Structure 1
Amino acid sequence: MDTSSMRRAGGRARRLLRDPVTWTEWIQIVKTVVAAVVAWMLAVQVFDLPQPFLAPWSALLVVHATVYRSFSRGAKQVGATVVGVLLAWATGDLLGLDAAALAVMLLAGLVIGNLRWLREESTTVGATALVVLTTGFSDQDHILVGRLLDTSIGVAVGLVVNVLVWPPLRDVTAARAIDAIDDRIGNLLQQIGREGDESCTADQVEAWIERSQEIDVAIDEAWALVRQAHESGWYNPRRHTSRNPGDSRDFPDLLDRMEQAVAEIRSMARTLGQSISLTNEWDDEFRGRWLALVGEAGEAIANPDSERVAAVRRELSALANDFSTENLPGLYWTEYGGLILNLRNVVTSMDRVAASQPVTPRGRHDKSPLLGG
């Protein structure tokens, strides 16, 4: 590896070490391992339970990305396990252990698991019943009680570890996702500004549309992260003690604006595509000024500068005023007016997004890499 490659690799490593999202993910992994090991040790060494496999298994499942989800899934998991153990006991007592009994039990377990309250644990009822019945414990009442106890131990340990050991706040993860989307919107606009001249082809237009659809997918993923960020503050003790209160109330408005901008860009691309297919000849001055504004808007969004975004909006008004006095065919004005309106809507939507860059949760001031994500 040459010196420049080593320098780049070192730079990436340093960025990862300073990245709060990376730290949060690694802390969650370590917490999950610790919870599983502690649950197993308690079940074996303190409660002296035989074959306490459900204790570490339950702990693994309970350490979730948010404290609230740990509580909600923990309660559902305990309920599903109790139902599974009782189902195995009933099957063993009434039907014994054979292929028919196994089929009846699994069918019942999966049906119960799909009830509304247990749907997130849809296979836990059947899986627990399967393990208990096939290991021969269904007719041993004290071992059935042990299965319930080791499950409860695992859930309790998972909850305690997730609540007390750096409970995650997910607002930084959501902010990072939003930050990346506006860069992609700006880059797409710059691409259209470069490629939208008289040599533009239908294939290039289709590529712009595909990129806009990819950004839509990224926005959908960001919405999920914003919901998770909101949820991460529920029951979270860090919400009251951290200088970062997990306040992501502004994020939905920013995502709404980005959705609007992407829809306008896609409309813009389709207008250009129709013009190409109809071989319409454009006014050179309009094309040059409009494409320059598209590129300028892209730069102002990708390198957030709300003043430049506002300047583009003013220039668009000037463009419309200048050409409103021209003797242009009606068809041209339909296209020109649509393109001006699309770009004006883009910069209007992205003005506040640019002013919010870099996107940070309200109250975020501490530079420590361990402040959450």
Structure 2
Amino acid sequence: MPDVPEPMVKLVRWTAEPAAAQILRSTAAAVLSYVVALWLTPQPAPLTAPLTALLVVQVTLYSTLTTGINRVNAVIAGVLIAIGFSTLVGLSWWSLGLTILTSLVIGRFVRAGEFVIEVAISAMLVLGVTRVANTAWDRIFETLIGAAVGLLFNLLFAPPVWVQSAGGSIESLARRMGGLFRDMGGEVAGHLPVERAASRLHEARRVDHAIVEVDASLRQAEDSLRWNPRVREGALSRIVLRTGLDTLEICAVVLRVMSRTLTDLAKQRTDEELFPDDVAGELEILFDHVAYAIESFAVLITSQVSANAQTAEDRLAQALTDSALSRDRIADMLLLKVQEHPRQWQLHGALLAEVDRILDELAVEKRSERLVEELDRYGSEASERHPRLQMIKRRLGDSGVYRRSSRVVRGAFK
């Protein structure tokens, strides 16, 4: 089989990404709205219709349906403002500034919500092409056509699901945290300069920025699962990923605290080894086990419905067992060393307590309990918010969806 050129491989991979699918969907919706507007209106170039379609067709079906009305309000308000100014004063630098100012002020009163800025954007875009339409009604009609096409397009052609992208971000975060644990394990032997320990602490603090980015990716994935006909158990998938990220965030906090503990030890032991050789060797093994447990946990929560889930769960359980055994050995060794040299014993205890916290957060039993609690809470909140909808679901035989999900979680994480 001939080798495929690398640019072609990258192109194929890119077209399989949700971002590529969204670009194609937005383009298709805009073109379709333009064709429909040409068919329904007498205007030779109804550009407002594709403009509105681009604004309405969101990344997810949920965001389209929840923000569509606000976007339509924003576009219509901008269109009316632009037509009014073009009729009265035409386009000039001062009329453009007055149009933007008026648009931003009026946008606060038309319930445009977070899309107030789009009132001004629509007004500016329409102001530049007002010669195309003869009346304000033409522009409004084009806007409604674009909004309708955008909404129907997302209903008929469901947007892509961003779970895989969010899962990749979570696994990348776990690998980064695992790398930091292994780096710390490689530095506990011998003398640890304070500057190196402080640098490792700074790197641990930067993990917070990565968590913010992963959280944004996960929110997009959660929206893509809501009301999406391509997803059956969207609530379960959302909760699995969200609770998993919460666990990794706690582990990241503990990682930062451990880095602080090692830095404090380095400050107290500037002229000697950080730990004796036997303790340092066991700590390096422990940190490697903890890193492997975190990485296996990320694989588990991002592949809970695939064949890799069972393998990831087995690896996580083994890594947790190995970590616990190594932790107990270190505790015995540190106890003997503290009796010989009682200096900074509290930092030794803090280090062991921080390891215990991570192992407790990654425990399979605790994760199972947390998932069941979140599913029950989600079902209760849904019933309180939409009691009639829940009654209809029960009559249609869908009342046990959350109970089934809970049973799935209990069975999957035993």
Same topology, TM > 0.5: yes
Q: State whether structure 2 residue 182 is matched by structure 1 residue 182.
A: no
Q: Give the paired residue count.
A: 347
Query: Shift in Å at residue 101 of structure 1?
Result: 4.5
Residue pairs, 1:187-202, within 5 angstroms = 187-202=179-194
**1:31 equivalent among 25, 30, 41:** 25
Which amino acid counterpart does residue 257 of structure 2 have in structure 1? S
SS in 1 for 2:346: helix
How far apart, in 2, do the equivalents of 1:217 and 1:70 lie? 28
* Equivalent residue, structure 2, for 1:146: 138
Matches within 5 A, 1:1-373: 9=6, 13=9, 17=13, 22-91=16-85, 100-114=94-108, 117-133=111-127, 135=129, 143-240=135-232, 247-279=237-269, 281=272, 282-284=274-276, 285-302=278-295, 305-306=315-316, 307-326=318-337, 327-352=339-364
Deviations 1:69-125 (A, max 9, x none): 122333222111221233234445666766554433321212233569424323322
Give the letter for the 2:334 counterpart: F
Letter in 2 for 1:317: D
> Could you tell me whether the CA contact under 8 Å between 1:192 and 1:295 is conserved in 2?
no
Give deviations 1:110-161, integer Å, cap 9, x for gaps: 22335694243233222333444555569x8x52111111122222222222
The structure-2 alpha-carbon separation of the partners of 1:206 and 1:15, relative to structure 1 and needing over 3 Å to count, comes to farther
After TM superposition, give the deviation of residue 295 of structure 1 in Å. 2.4
The residue type equivalent to 1:310 in the other structure is T
C-alpha separation between the residues in 2 aligned to 1:252 and 1:116? 35
- In structure 2, C-alpha distance between the alignment counterparts of 1:218 and 1:247, rounded to whole Å: 22
Q: Is the 8 A contact 2:33 2:149 kept in 1?
A: yes
SS of residue paired to 2:345: helix
CA distance in 1, matches of 2:189, 2:109: 58
Assess, with a 3 A threshold, how the Cα gap between structure 1 residues 96 and 225 changes in structure 2: closer, same or farther: closer
Do the aligned residues in 2 keep the contact of 1:209 with 1:269 (CA within 8 Å)?
Answer: yes
Q: Deviation per CA, 1:11-46, whole angstroms, max 9, x where unpaired?
A: x938964x9x94332222111111111111121234
Cα distance in structure 2, aligned partners of 1:341 and 1:205: 20
- Structure 2: stretches of 5+ with no match in the other structure: 297-311, 369-403, 406-414
Counterpart residue type for residue 269 of structure 1: S
Between 1 and 2, higher relative CO (CA 8 Å, sep ≥ 6) is seen in: 1
Is contact 1:310-1:347 (8 Å) kept? no
The range that moved more, 290-299 or 89-98, is 89-98
In structure 2, give the amino acid aligned to 1:274: D
Q: 1:276 Cα deviation (Å)? A: 2.1
Moved more, 125-134 or 218-227: 125-134
Percent of matched pairs sharing the same residue: 25
Partners of 2:214 and 2:347 lie apart in 1 by 33
